[in-house]
Structure 1
Amino acid sequence: MQSSSELFPVALISAEFRGDLSEDVYLLKPNNSPDASVELALTRLGRAGHEQHRGVPLILIPGSFSNRRFWYSPKCIGLGPYLARAGFDVWIAEMRGHGLSPRNQWYRQNRVSDYVRYDLPAIADFIYEQNPQKAHWLGHSLGGITLAGALGGHYLQQERVASVALFGSQISRVYWPLKLPPLEWGGSLLLRGFNVISGPRLKRGPEDEPIGLALESLRWHGLFGRFGDSEHDWWAGLAEVKVPVMAVGAVGDKQDPAWACRKLLEQFGSPVSEFVCLGTKNGFSTDFGHVEMLVSKEAQREVWPLIEQWLHKSPLVAAVNEESAEVPAQLSLG
């Protein structure tokens, strides 16, 4: 079968119409990491009949225990279809071993560092090959953390990024017991006895997570831990990221509190930034939760239009700032 890319082997494994939308599923084999068995599923949603007139690319990254269905249902309801109908060229990434991405040979050892260093750059390169425009990136929870790591580690090219939106993503919540080395070591030893953390069993979501992610998180939150890999301090690197960025937290999110989401935003060096806290005290109809901020009827009415507004406005404001070199802009989105 002929590859759909000149970069690396890519197979178009499915092409369907979903009502007024087209759904194309690609399987990428980048061969850019130590585990040569890695394959990545990438779903594109577009408007049927407009295949030759693609809009600005928008890449959606789901969080932990999740897959592409977080962004759209089999009936094509969700943020992905909403933004595709708004004219964006929507791409939904599934990390190695999640959703339609098959489990790789070293699945147990998969870490965010692998997503950051290998998977996101390959996904970005392929999408740019298909649609050579600056792309918007939007990540939820671990998806947003992965995106922040890729930018802070300079694995994504900023000149190809139109804007970044992070939902329920943070790295600053402190787990004090993990600051005690004996407890950190004991936790690590206990986790090494497992291969995966079961999302369905823990009622966290439809996907499992490899134990490598949990071990990596322990290192991040340990006494001398840092948000980064062996080569780069991702947290420090965020200060050099200048692309427009929006962070969204929710009053009802107990897992990733709004204050910590805001702290991640403040670490970016972008002159165009915005923080939105979803709660009744800020004029929203409810105190949104971690999932409900993007997947709920209230989100459809109140949050999705905010995202569309940000996507249309952020690159325009950034362009004005680059030309005028005036005081950094702050957008007001609620």
Structure 2
Amino acid sequence: MLSSSELFPVALISAELRGDLSEDVYRLKPGNSPDPSVELALTRLGLASAELTGGVVARGMPVVLIPGSFSNRRFWYSPKGIGLGAFLARAGFDVWIAEMRGHGLSPRNLDYRRNRVSDYVRYDLPAISAFVHEQNPQPAHWLGHSLGGIILAGALGGQHLDQAKVASVALFGSQISRTYWPLKIPPLEWGARLVLKRFAALSGPRLRRGPEDEPIGLALESLRWHGLFGRFGEREHDWWAGLGQVQVPVLAVAAEGDLQDPPWACQRLLEQFGAAQARYLCLGRKQGFSEDFGHVEMLVSKAAQHEVWPLVQRWLLAPGNDALCLTEGGSTVTASVSSGN
């Protein structure tokens, strides 16, 4: 089979019509990391009725969606064609859903248990960005939920994503500032590390965190970040400091009812960005929403479908807006988006 890319081997493993949507699934084999067995699944959503322009399907602005921990592409796009990814595709965007190595349709690589966010940041996201840009040479909007947002922040702070190819970034329920004080005590951190090293992965279903497992390498990396002298980044690269050099428009969305990634910590991550267009939005009753959204419900719920998804669409159409207007039931609700700097 011929490669779908001139960058590295890419196979189109599925091309289906899902109702009014087209679904193409690519498997990338970039060969840019120490583990040559890594393959990455990338799902492209579009309208089945997309018009041809000069024999080529007309594509809108590219949007890349990254799920959080213990999750996969179904967070953004259900088998019934429901989700923010499907909503944006129906709105005319060129939607790409990325699954990190060992997640969803991306097979487990040989060194799966040692996979870290650093690998996603340094190797996987640059490969995904390069392929998306090859297929649609416009600056892409990037959206990440929870760990997906942390991966995006790391890639930008570590300068692994070319800002010239990034139209905007939106982080949903993403933070790294919540402190776990026991991990600041070296003997306890060492003990936790010894216990975790006995496992290859953390089971999402068993822990009731989601459908996917997470490699133990991510947990060990998190221990280092939150240790006594830890920092957000690799040993040789301080991603936290590097965020100050990021100039693309950034939106941080927090949920008032999120106990896992509290609003104050999400706002703290946003404040570290150097972008002039850094905006913060909290989803709660006192901000004018119908409920205090939770960590998952902020994007996956009927309330999110009516109140949050249209706001995301408006952000993508005009990144940096100070106010996002939502028309609901004949009345207009304005969600105030505050500056993060």
Unmatched segments (≥5 aa) in structure 1? 318-329
Aligned partner of 1:209 among 214, 231, 234? 214
Task: Give 2:332's aligned residue.
Answer: none
The amino acid of 2:21's aligned partner reads L
1:230 to partner: Cα distance:
2.1
TM-score under structure 2 normalisation? 0.93
Asked whether 1:86 is paired with 2:77, we answer: no
Q: Which 4+ runs in 1 deviate beyond 3 A?
A: none
Please give the alpha-carbon distance, in whole angstroms, between the structure 2 residues aligned to 1:203 and 1:165: 26
Give 2:323's aligned residue. Answer: 332
Q: Judge which range, 43-52 or 19-28, deviates more.
A: 43-52
User: What is the alpha-carbon distance in structure 2 between the residues aligned to residue 269 and residue 331 of structure 1?
Assistant: 17
Q: 1:231 offset after TM fit, Å?
A: 2.3
From 137, 150, 156, the equivalent of 2:155 is: 150
**Out of 247, 251, 254, which is 2:252 matched to?**
247
What SS is found at the alignment partner of 1:127? helix
Query: Does the CA contact (< 8 Å) of 1:197 and 1:208 recur in 2?
Result: yes
Aligned ranges 1:280-291 → 2 under 5 Å: 280-291=285-296
* Correspondences of 1:206-245 after superposition (within 5 Å): 206-245=211-250
- Please tell me whether residue 61 in structure 1 is matched to residue 66 in structure 2: yes
Is 1:42 the counterpart of 2:47? The answer is: no
More helix by share: 1
Q: Which residue of 1 aligns with 2:330?
A: none
Contact (CA 8 Å) 1:25, 1:42: kept in 2 or not? Answer: yes
Retained in 2: the 8 A contact 1:273–1:331? Answer: no
Correspondences of 1:1-334 after superposition (within 5 Å): 1-50=1-50, 52-314=57-319, 331-333=322-324, 334=335
Q: Residue deviations 1:251-278, cap 9 Å, x none?
A: 1100000000000001000111210100
**Cα distance between partner residues in 2 of 1:271 and 1:89:** 26
**Aligned AA (1:47):** L
Is the 8 Å Cα contact of residues 274 and 332 (structure 1) preserved in structure 2? no
CA distance in 2, matches of 1:239, 1:217: 22
Instruction: Tell me by how many angstroms 1:332 deviates.
Output: 2.3
Give the Cα separation in 2 of the matches to 1:259 and 1:127. Answer: 33
Distance 2:236 2:9 in 1: 28
The one-letter code matched in structure 2 to 1:22 is S
| CA distance in structure 2 between the partners assigned to 1:86 and 1:269 by the alignment | 30
Q: Which amino acid aligns with 1:103?
A: R
Equivalents in 1 of 2:162, 2:186: separation in Å?
37
Give the number of aligned pairs: 320
How far does the alpha carbon of each residue in 1:277-299 deviate from its partner, in whole angstroms, 9 at most, with x for none? 00001000000000000000000
Mapped partners of 2:162, 2:27: distance in 1? 22
CA shift digits 1:142-199 (9 cap, x unpaired): 0000000000000000000000000000000000000000000000011000110000
Distance, in Å, in 2 between the alignment partners of 1:179 and 1:120 is: 31
Structure with greater strand percent: 2
CA distance in 2 between partners of 1:10 and 1:286 (Å): 43
* Letter aligned with residue 47 of structure 2: R
Percent sequence identity over aligned pairs? 76
Structure 2 residue ranges without an equivalent (≥5): 325-334, 336-341
RMSD: 0.8
What's the offset of the Cα at 1:75?
1.2
